[in-house]
Amino acid sequence: MVRKKKRKHIKHRKTGTFNKKKLKNAILSVLYEEPSQTVNYRQVSSWLGIKDQETQKLVNVALLELKDDGSLEQISRGKYKLKAKTGTICGIVELQPQGFAYINSDEVDRPVLVSTRNLKHAMEGDKVRVHLYARRKKHDLEGEVAEIVERAKSVFVGTVQISRNFAFLLPAGKVGFDIFIPLDKLYGAKNGQKAIAEINEWPSHARSPFGEIIEVLGDAGDNDAEMHSILAEFELPHKFPQNVDKAAQKIPLEIPPEEYTKRRDFRGITTFTIDPADAKDFDDALSLQKLKNGNWEVGIHIADVTHYVTPNSIIEEEAQNRATSVYLVDRVVPMLPERLSNGVCSLRPNEDKLCFSAIFEINGQAEILNQWFGKTVIHSNKRFTYEEAQEIIESGEGELADELLKLDKLAQKLREDRFKNGSIAFDRVEIKFNIDEKGKPLSVFFKEAKESNKLVEEFMLLANKQVAGFIGTLPKNKSPKTFVYRIHDKPDPDKLVSLNTFIQRFGYGIQLSTTKAISNSLNNLLNNVKGKKEQNVVETLTIRTMAKAAYSTRNIGHYGLSFENYTHFTSPIRRYPDMMVHRLLEKYLANGRSANEQKYENLCKHSSEMETKAANAERASIKYKQVEFMQDHVGEIYQGVISGITDWGIYVELENKIEGMVPIRELDDDFYIFDEKNYALVGRHTNKTYQLGADVVVKIWRTNLERKQLDFLLAEKEN
């Protein structure tokens, strides 16, 4: 048995290093062959030929997660066994446009196909138990839903359609059904309006679920109604409950005199904030002073949110549920009520404010000589916008120019060292809109990170890294304390191999031998493609190889930043994990006992899920504004680059970064076959190829605001 596993290990080494997902699959493959075997992380590491400490640590995390998922059972501390197979698996439904679904589960090595008729009304995101069929082909896994274990959602947003005797809500997004609404359950909703409905029941014989309207959002096309619809689609709130707002109003702006005596006083030290021009929630400030020994003291001061938001309060409960602020194109939906986010906690200029600070003594080479974490009081001298700070950095003149220039110099050195250590440089351009008072987009522009942005980013990264390191590297004789980490797994080895094969056509390549070699060669690649026509496609594919960052108490490091320890400490006004970090850091600074790991792991999981929902809502609002903006440009011709290839069409990104699709049915000069491996559509008869990254000319064909869809035609087709 051991010999067999070693062969498996050699196969894996060809694709580079293990990541967590790959490890989980490998562990289950090993145990499926020996279902009665009890294992610990050392045995698994030995079978898979894993000798390095870092990956062995990852094996431990993978075993814990497989236990959490229900794939393994824990026999005793650190010892696991495969759960008895019953011919069923648990997984999450991923609906496909054609109506069938894939069920994704860690219990099997590939998704399980379930046909539409065997879904038993399971919906996107539902957790289901699936009965597996005997395999008919080598690679296919098929089954039918035996039980819906947990509904992903019962509340849907959409457009109301009323006929004489009944009504329907036509849900937004990837849903696959309409909701039947009896006329007496419309509660004032009118035909064509946006509304939220809740499903009450779904009889087994009925094609549609039955529901009722619980909130009317407004008329379709109205900007507020549409933005609220996007929030509702991703189960995000658009307003605070009255009792939460009332509780926030009772929190005083004034700091009680006794609070000053408990804190380190930074009010006499030059301090300022740098934020976007439209920001009101300033949750971080920087201070700088030269020490007598010639070194610099840099203070990273973070709003002391947890001083005001106490455990078990209704504001705490609301913040925990929301977990993050949501940034749509035209608004911020804050995690905390405005009284706190823009008032009490916001580090506004010329006001005393309570902070939790990370203070560093740094020499001219940006090396940290001493550090201190604790509660402070500050008084910000100036509020800079990024543009104002940038102008001072570029000209060398202006208010607090000496401080800004010194911090910029230190930040550049920190950045340089970070990249030397394997941090990966993803500098993505942000798309922004100029919009009028009614929310209509007037023009599109791009935002690139300049020195002022990078200055702030470097010091926030430093604070996050040092706080995590302070807790994560406690003396060896002490057991590790429960903490909230920001983790980022290694890239998917198979995707890296595919990327390497693809970029070779452009004359590039990446080293896949070690973790360090991968990150260094990815940096070289991203640097070498800058300004080239293939830049966008190579950057996009490189990002797709990456895992998604998440929150966890189980620290596996942050691959993208190349940090062994990393957390989120610097934005507690807009992120709940930062509030957890503040509370844990305060507890441990006072020599408190380790917190309950399972409680914090559950909160981490919830925060990661809410972060994903917020990011999806932000993307949906951008897509909506893109389609709305292009409504005035139907029929116009644009240059574009093929940004995605699927078996249903070609995605094209225009020079203004707006993306649309050429449907495959409109390519009627040949029968096109999707070549997934080479990211291309190839004509069966003519061999004509549409390749990812290729230049094309398109005509804006049609827009569908309701579906946030933009369709193009290839312009040469019109000639």
pLDDT in tens, 142-190: 899 999 998 888 899 999 999 988 999 999 877 878 999 999 999 999 9
Identify the domain boundary among 82, 111, 133: 82
Quickly state the pLDDT bin for 86 (edges 50, 70, 90): low
Q: How far apart are CA 406 and CA 432, in angstroms?
A: 31
Q: Return d(Cα 714, Cα 582) in angstroms, integer.
A: 54
Contact by Cβ (8 Å): 58, 564 = no
Mind listing the pLDDT tens digit for each residue in 358-376? 999 999 999 999 999 999 9
Same domain, 68 and 194: no
Same-domain pairing of 139 and 159? no
Judge whether 246 lies within some domain.
yes
Reported as a pLDDT band with limits 50, 70 and 90, residue 445 is confident
Considering the domain boundaries, does residue 368 fall inside one?
Answer: yes
297/406 same-domain check: yes
d(CA 24, CA 30): 10
User: Which residues, in sequence order, are CB contacts of 555 under 8 Å at separation 6+?
Assistant: 468, 472, 483, 485, 487, 565
Does residue 280 sit in the same domain as residue 298? yes
- pLDDT at position 8 is 38
Residues 25-75 pLDDT 10s:
888 887 877 777 888 888 888 888 888 888 888 898 989 988 887 788 888
What average pLDDT does the structure give for the chain?
Answer: 90
Read off the pLDDT band of 556 (50, 70, 90): very high
The residue from 49, 67, 82 where one domain ends is 82
Q: Is residue 458 part of a domain?
A: no
CB 331 within 8 A of CB 618: no
Residue (of 211, 215, 217, 161) closest to 184 by Cα position: 211
- Work out the average pLDDT over 115-121: 89
DSSP-derived pairing of the beta strands 368-379 and 352-362: antiparallel
Say if 469 falls within a structural domain.
no
- In a shared domain, residues 75 and 108: no
Q: Tell which wins on pLDDT, 596 or 207.
A: 596
Quick: pLDDT tens for 257-280: 999 999 999 999 999 999 999 888
Whether residue 166 is found in the same domain as residue 113: no
Q: Higher confidence at residue 528 or residue 571? A: 571
CA 501 to chain centroid, in Å, comes to 27
Domain with 180 in it: what CATH number? 2.40.50.700
Please state, in angstroms and rounded to a whole number, the distance separating the CA atoms of residues 643 and 656: 13
Please check whether residue 696 lies inside any domain of the structure. yes
For 545, the token pair is: 């190889």
Expressed as residue numbers, the domain containing 387 is 242-410
Quick check: 141 and 108 in contact, CB under 8 A? Answer: yes
* Mean pLDDT to the nearest integer, 297-315: 97
- Indicate the residue among 101, 127, 150 that finishes a domain: 150
**Which DSSP helix (H) or strand (E) runs through 369?**
strand 368-379
| pLDDT top residue among 310 and 75 | 310
Collect all residues with Cβ–Cβ distance below 8 Å to 94 and sequence separation of at least 6. Answer: 101, 102, 103, 104, 111, 124
- 206-223: average pLDDT: 93
The structure tokens 């560093």 sit at 360
Q: What is the pLDDT of residue 137?
A: 55
Nearest to 438 by CA among 222, 195, 705: 222
Mean local confidence (pLDDT), 605-610: 97
Q: Are strands 680-683 and 689-691 parallel, antiparallel or unpaired?
A: antiparallel
Q: Residue 351: how many CA atoms within 13 Å on its side-chain side? A: 17
320 part of a folded domain: yes
Strands (E), 543-687: 550-552, 637-646, 649-654, 659-663, 672-675, 680-683
CB 445 within 8 A of CB 632: no
Residue of 482, 483, 610, 604 lying closest to 551 (CA atoms): 604
So what's the pLDDT on residue 205?
83
Of 297, 299, 319, give the one whose Cα is nearest residue 310.
319
pLDDT at 85: 64
Strand segments, DSSP code E, in 50-124 are 72-76, 79-82, 88-95, 101-104, 112-114
8-state DSSP, 662: E
CA distance 177 to 326: 28
- How far does the chain reach from its first CA to its final CA, in angstroms? 65
Q: Assess whether 124 and 179 both reside in one domain.
A: no
Give percent of the chain with pLDDT exceeding 90: 62
Of 86-95, 322-331, 615-624, minimum mean pLDDT range = 86-95
CATH number, position 95 = 2.40.50.140
Q: Model confidence over 614-668: pLDDT tens digits?
A: 999 999 999 999 999 999 999 999 999 898 898 889 999 998 889 999 999 999 8
Within a domain: 589: no
Tokens encoding 345: 């906690």
Confidence of residue 139 (pLDDT cuts 50, 70, 90): low
Number of CB atoms found within 10 A of residue 150's CB: 10
Q: Quick one: 403 and 305 in the same domain?
A: yes
User: Does residue 415 lie within any of the structural domains?
Assistant: no
Report yes or no: 511 and 517 within 8 Å, Cβ to Cβ.
yes
- Rounded to 10 degrees, what is the CA torsion of 210, 212, 215, 216? 90
How many domains are contained in the chain?
Answer: 5
**What is the C-alpha separation between 319 and 306, in angstroms, rounded?**
11
Q: Check residue 2 and give its pLDDT.
A: 38
Mind giving me the DSSP string for 381-445?
A: -EEEEHHHHHHHHHHS-STTHHHHHHHHHHHHHHHHHHHHTT-----PPEEEEEE-TT--EEEEE
As to burial, measured by CB atoms within 10 angstroms (0-12 exposed, 13-18 middle, 19+ buried), residue 371 is middle
Evaluate if residue 600 carries a pLDDT over 50.
yes
pLDDT value of residue 552: 97
* Residue 100 pLDDT exceeds 60: yes
User: Which pLDDT does position 5 carry in this prediction?
Assistant: 39
Tell me, yes or no, whether 126 and 73 share the same domain. no
Residues 126 and 167 grouped into a single domain: no
Distance, in Å, from the CA atom of 102 to the CA atom of 116, rounded to the nearest integer, reads 10
Q: Which residue has the tokens 């010091």?
A: 459
Half-sphere exposure of 242 (CA within 13 A, CB side): 0
Tokens 């696959």 -> residue: 176
User: Do 70 and 142 sit in the same domain of this protein?
Assistant: no
What are φ and ψ of residue 156, in 5° steps?
-130, 150
Reported pTM: 0.89
| 385 and 299 together in one domain | yes
